[in-house]
Amino acid sequence: KNQVEQSPQSLIILEGKNCTLQCNYTVSPFSNLRWYKQDTGRGPVSLTIMTFSENTKSNGRYTATLDADTKQSSLHITASQLSDSASYICVPGGGATNKLIFGTGTLLAVQP
């Protein structure tokens, strides 16, 4: 059964601090992993996309890593800002139609 587990479920950090979000997945077939940011009541926005052969991908202050052997991924946020407060969703995918499996997300709150 396809599963995506994200940790922690929620996190509170102070503005300017760094944080790392974790994702463990069991998805087959697998060919790529995405991280999305979803503000409350809004649609998800793509942050990074990695194929199974890529180990890391950066997008500004966001850096994602992927270990396809252990089926783990992480999202590191550097120098957090108040606008980073959102849910961060790990999304592995694969197969002929690239079916995406969405995790339930880590809810991040950045406080001043």
Residue among 68, 80, 69 at smallest CA distance from 21: 80
Cβ neighbourhood burial of 97 (10 Å; 0-12, 13-18, 19+) = exposed
Q: Which is nearer to other proteins, 41 or 112 (CB)?
A: 41
105 is a contact residue toward other proteins (CB under 8 A): yes
Only segment of 13-21, 36-44, 58-66, 73-81 that touches other proteins (CB under 8 A): 36-44
CA distances from 109 to 1, 24, 31, 42, 94 (A): 31, 22, 31, 16, 31
Q: Which is nearer to other proteins, 17 or 42 (CB)?
A: 42
108 is a contact residue toward other proteins (CB under 8 A): no
Among 1, 41, 83, 112, binds other proteins (CB under 8 A): 41
Instruction: Round to whole Å and give the CA distance between 80 and 65.
Output: 18
Q: How many CB atoms lie within 10 A of CB 16?
A: 11
94 is a contact residue toward other proteins (CB under 8 A): yes
CB 102 → other proteins: shortest distance, Å?
4
Which residue ranges make up the site for other proteins (CB under 8 A)? 4, 31-32, 41-46, 49, 51-52, 89, 93-94, 96-105
